[in-house]
Copies of this chain bind each other. A is one copy, B any other.
């Protein structure tokens, strides 16, 4: 993989990489198309990274749809797929990790300890294995994107990052590989995430600048889910929370609906 990318770049071809865990949906494919638009070669990586799952999380049951994934990324214009084994990515004895930047501490950092450390580590490893010009990640995983952005800057990684917009179902549900865990009842209840974000966005647009007030509106709308890890309004760059909404702010939600832990977010300003 490494040699193929180095050779393509030496021939002057611009290479994009789209890291994924497979179980691909339209959100992923929009990232592939964003790479195809910008680059001569697009590599899709497919690897369900064990180090970003905590004990008791859904590593074992995470959906694996490799054959369909390959057909879909090829149809979307990808030219290479990198799908390493666990043993290739984590040979016995591997013990070096990325200690992620401070933007990894709140939100997911609090509710999924170790998750963003696993994400930062595998993403850096993939950047080393696939030394592309540009890497494209979805904005649905907002905090993940900010962590990768800070890591690339802090560790002087020579890659350009692009954030792809969240793709939604027609009723507003953010696309996610985990949506397939939802029963039809869950599926209806899951709509409250995107609705809560819309309500916060509208209140912000009408002048509400109290973080607590916006969060209360979201919590109210989220009454029907099984549990809420967070429904927060924070600074869009640092992910720090302030009593008064900062000039660049984002609302983020993580909530459990049936067997799925769903996340979504929306920029307010």
Contact = CB atoms under 8 A, between A and B. Distances in A.
Contacts of A129: 156
A155 B124 contact: yes
Interface string A1-18: 010000000100000000
A125 interface: yes
A21 interface: no
A125 B95 contact: no
Number of identical monomers bound together in the oligomeric complex: 2
A97 B157 CA distance: 13
A150 interface: yes
Interface stretch (A24-32, A98-106, A185-193): A98-106
Nearest to A128: B156
21 contacts: A2-B158, A10-B10, A93-B102, A94-B153, A96-B101, A96-B150, A96-B151, A96-B154, A96-B155, A97-B98, A97-B99, A98-B98, A98-B99, A99-B99, A99-B117, A125-B155, A125-B156, A128-B155, A128-B156, A129-B156, A131-B158
B158 A128 contact: yes
A249 interface: no
A192 B4 CA distance: 52
Interface string A114-129: 0001001100110011
A99 B96 contact: yes
Contacts of A91: 153
Contacts of A124: 155
